Amino acid sequence: MKAAVCYEVGKPLVVEEIDLDPPEAGEVKVRIAATAVCHSDIHILRGDLPEKLPTVGGHESAGWVEDIGRGVTGFKKGDPVVVSLLVSCGKCKYCQTGRSHQCNAAWPMDTGTRIHNKKGQDLSMLFKTGSFAEYTVVNQSQLVKIPADMPMDRACMLACGVITGFGAVVNRARVPVMSSCVIIGNGGVGLNAVQGAAISGANPVIAVDISDKKLEAAKTFGATHTVNASKVDAVKEVQKITGGGAEYVFITVGSTDAISQGLAMSGVQGMTVVVGLPKITDSLDISPLMFIKDERTLTGSYMGSTQLHTEIPKLVDLYKAGILKLDELITARYPLEQINEAIESVENGEALRNIIVF
């Protein structure tokens, strides 16, 4: 089978034939139909976050069950599935208290792999998924069955980009109706925070970005106001629109400047939620005083605090009802052979979501 392998940080991926081991106990082999290029993949490929190389990236995917390992129940060959990086044991204290996205169980795939190149060298599988490949082997808990008529190129985005943005608003912040929301960064994740806020009944929903193209897209996803931070003082603008500061601010870009800016945009008792991944070397310089008098909260959201198995089917229903927008997120589709072009266009900020289709 073919996969796109990262051998060296900063270098183009190499598309080559690799070998995949059969699924072990509790694991499922999936034929990948579509996988999106996410900024987290790019962070790894550029060395902003650590990962054992060589690696096969890709973690936002959908496909069909191809084979099942020992003890797997609930899946059979041909089932259409969303493949996520979230693994859950169902037994730990987090899984048992509705926080399965924080599952702390140990997995063979934490240190192991199921893929090797033709020289016999082990390749790591990024985020226990490695879906820049025709097939992958994952734990059964990473899969959610979807209806057969759900288009794969749209379903794949439910695995990470959609739930990360949407869930930050709906699950982590639990934004109440009519509250003011700011979303800094309006790419693939940010637009899902925008539509999460709009669907929650927030008002105003203020999109902040430096790209007019992305701000236009944000309006389609439900933003009531847009602020181009390269043209105006975005903090002052948000303070003006909200009458002193927003109740919720979501930072979907991996930038410490954006976090500081977001905190400055938050008002009394405002909550700022960090969603976009910064570099591992980044640190934040803020005055703790802002948390006392004005009772601000600074927190984060991991994978939209999503409970995969209950929420993915609901998001599919929302899409089918015409409420959740997915079609509008896709900028372009690429074959695996052109993955480097797909990555470059995401990195340049040209694309919302680029999808590799098989």
Q: What is the contact surface with Zn ion in residues (CB under 5 A)? A: 38, 40, 89, 92, 95, 103, 105, 160
Pairing of strands 246-251, 225-228: unpaired
How many whole angstroms separate alpha carbon 230 and alpha carbon 242?
20
Nearer to Zn ion, 127 or 319 (CB): 127
Pairing of strands 122-125, 115-117: antiparallel
38 belongs to the catalytic site: yes
* Least gap, CB of 39 to Zn ion (angstroms): 7
Q: Which entry of 6, 39, 40, 61 is annotated as an active-site residue? A: 40
Look-up: residue for tokens 């690799």? Answer: 18
* Least gap, CB of 297 to Zn ion (angstroms): 25
Nearer to Zn ion, 40 or 136 (CB): 40
Peptide bond into 108 cis (omega under 30): no
Nearer to Zn ion, 191 or 246 (CB): 191
Cα Rg of the chain, angstroms: 20
SS3 72: coil
* Least gap, CB of 227 to Zn ion (angstroms): 26
Nearer to Zn ion, 270 or 304 (CB): 304
> Is 59 within 8 Å of 40 (Cβ atoms)?
yes
* Least gap, CB of 290 to Zn ion (angstroms): 30
Nearer to Zn ion, 47 or 297 (CB): 47
Q: Angle at CA 80, nearest 5°, toward 87 and 353?
A: 75
How many whole angstroms separate alpha carbon 245 and alpha carbon 219?
21
Residues in contact with 85: Cβ distance below 8 Å, sequence separation at least 6, in sequence order: 59, 127, 128, 129, 142, 159, 160, 303
Nearer to Zn ion, 105 or 318 (CB): 105
43 belongs to the catalytic site: yes
* Least gap, CB of 247 to Zn ion (angstroms): 27
Q: Which entry of 160, 179, 200, 266 is annotated as an active-site residue? A: 160
Residue 321 burial by CB count (10 A; 0-12/13-18/19+): exposed, middle or buried?
Answer: exposed
Give me the amino acid identity at 162: V
Give me the amino acid identity at 206: I
92 belongs to the catalytic site: no
* Least gap, CB of 92 to Zn ion (angstroms): 3
> Is 181 within 8 Å of 247 (Cβ atoms)?
yes
Give the residue numbers marked as catalytic: 38, 40, 43, 59, 160
